[in-house]
Chains A and B, each alone.
Chain A
Amino acid sequence: MSEPLVRDSAILAIAAAARRAGAVVFAGNGFNARALAALADHPDNFYMLGSMGLGPVLAAGFSRCSGTPTVVIEGDGNALMGLSGHPAALGAARTPFVHCVLDNGVYETTGGQRTLSPAVDMMLLARGCGYPEVHRVATGEELTARLDAALAGRRHTFVQVQTRRSDGPTHPRVPYDPPQVVTRFGRFVPGEAAAE
């Protein structure tokens, strides 16, 4: 019915669902982190500024040790680069854990070069990695419904979000340097000193 989402609408829907559920949001590097910071900055957001493809494992390590409901957003380029991390993330993460891939088929941050995503069945991959809940959505309503259900449930969930290339202005870089991203992250727990 309606045409595919643009990134900004998807990011806003994900951030809103996360806030409703008290979940943290990890955003992969590039335009996804920039958009999250520009549109829905919040102490429960963690912005990746590099380490392309490692979003799900980073988020899963946090989920594992904190028990906090966790959402991770990354692009199709990130997801393809980090394929080996998907079973590792799934093995580590507690629930609720929602892995959202915003799939526009291009590396938009670097100028719109195409990715291999059109040749890949992302849902089959996610199932193969062991996600018990795997969905593809194309509208904001579907996305919101899937997120709300996943964040209220106890099943690891993968959501492929069909998006189209944005035509609006791009967002500025994340306005925090990496250590600031950590200290601003409201769920950050400073570690204890070594026992001995």
Chain B
Amino acid sequence: MKLLLIQMRGCRHRLDRRCPGYHDGLRPIDAGRRSRVPPTAATATIKTAELPIVEQLRRVGVTFVSGVADSGVKALVAALEGDPSCGELYVLATREDNAVALAAGSYLAGEQPLVFMESSGIGNAIDALTSLAGAYRMPIVLLIVWAGYDGRDVPHHNAIGEPLAGLLDALGVPRIPVRLAEAFAATAAAIADAVRLARQRGGPVAVLGIPANLENPAEEGGAR
């Protein structure tokens, strides 16, 4: 119950300050989907002390999310899609560069954006990350699902997963690795670090989410 109250307060807060007339001019929102209220008492206890993912994002300062879906961020996207707070946090993108540019626009309006993608999306995003987010010194945080991590994945993922870290280094984008676990807390903590670093240096910072099955393939039957 307390969690619900926190969420509702957050929603009203954002609506008042940034989102007057949210529905104006936007396409109709699927009311059924939006009205699905997340944590009942039962799920809250099963998930131990975890706050809803969207609330965790807000607590680390994220106020705008866009990206291109990947299986590694399934829970995140589901949480964003099911967010009862009028859906203003999440905007769909068609490509990773579009997501970065949407995020850049949100930053100009005072938001702290997060952009999620799979490692294969980095190629699509490079121009946006360099000539927009980098050159204009915008603190955009990326959450990149590291498909192809350490060459432990299928060949087409390894082809970008192996050079990914070096590529980000060459682009001057700091990276913070984290293991993607069922609980979102570790990812949220990495995002919090990335938000701080991005604002401090004025530019994009990447959280590299290592899929659990790739981090410890022997134990968990990785794709190798």
- B25 in contact (CB, < 8 A): yes
Stretch in B1-9, B134-142, B150-158 with 4+ CB within 8 Å of A: B134-142
Interface size class of B (residues with CB under 8 A): 35 or more
A22 to B112, CA, bound (A): 25
Whether A194 lies near B60 (C-beta < 8 A) is yes
Q: Which residue from A87, A179, A187, A190 sits with its C-beta under 8 Å from B136?
A: A179
Question: Is there a chain B Cβ closer than 8 Å to A189's Cβ?
Answer: yes
When the two chains form the complex, which single residue of B18, B19, B88, B136 contacts A178, counting CB atoms closer than 8 Å?
Answer: B136
Cα(A151)–Cα(B83), bound, Å: 31
Q: Among the listed stretches A12-20, A30-38, A50-58, A160-168, which one makes contact with chain B, having 4 or more residues with CB under 8 Å of it?
A: A50-58
- CA distance in complex: A48, B131 (Å): 9
Tell me, yes or no, whether B109 is within 8 Å of chain A by CB.
yes
CA distance A58 to B128 in the complex (A): 10
Name which residue of chain A comes closest to B62, CB basis: A194
Residues in B with CB closer than 8 Å to A46 are 108
B131 touches A60 (CB 8 A): no
The verdict on B168 contacting chain A, using a C-beta distance below 8 Å, is: no
**A195: chain B residues within 8 A (beta carbon):** 58-61
A192 to B119: give the CA distance in the assembly, Å.
Answer: 29
Of residues 16 to 65 in B, which have CB atoms within 8 Å of A's CB atoms?
A: 18-21, 24-27, 58-61, 64
| Interface residue from B18, B92, B109, B135 paired with A187 (Cβ < 8 Å) | B109
Within 8 A of B (CB), among A155-194: 155-156, 178-179, 181-182, 185, 187-194
**Interface residues in chain A, defined as those with a beta carbon under 8 Å from any beta carbon in chain B:** 46, 48-52, 54, 57-68, 82, 84-85, 87-89, 91-97, 130, 154-156, 178-179, 181-182, 185, 187-196
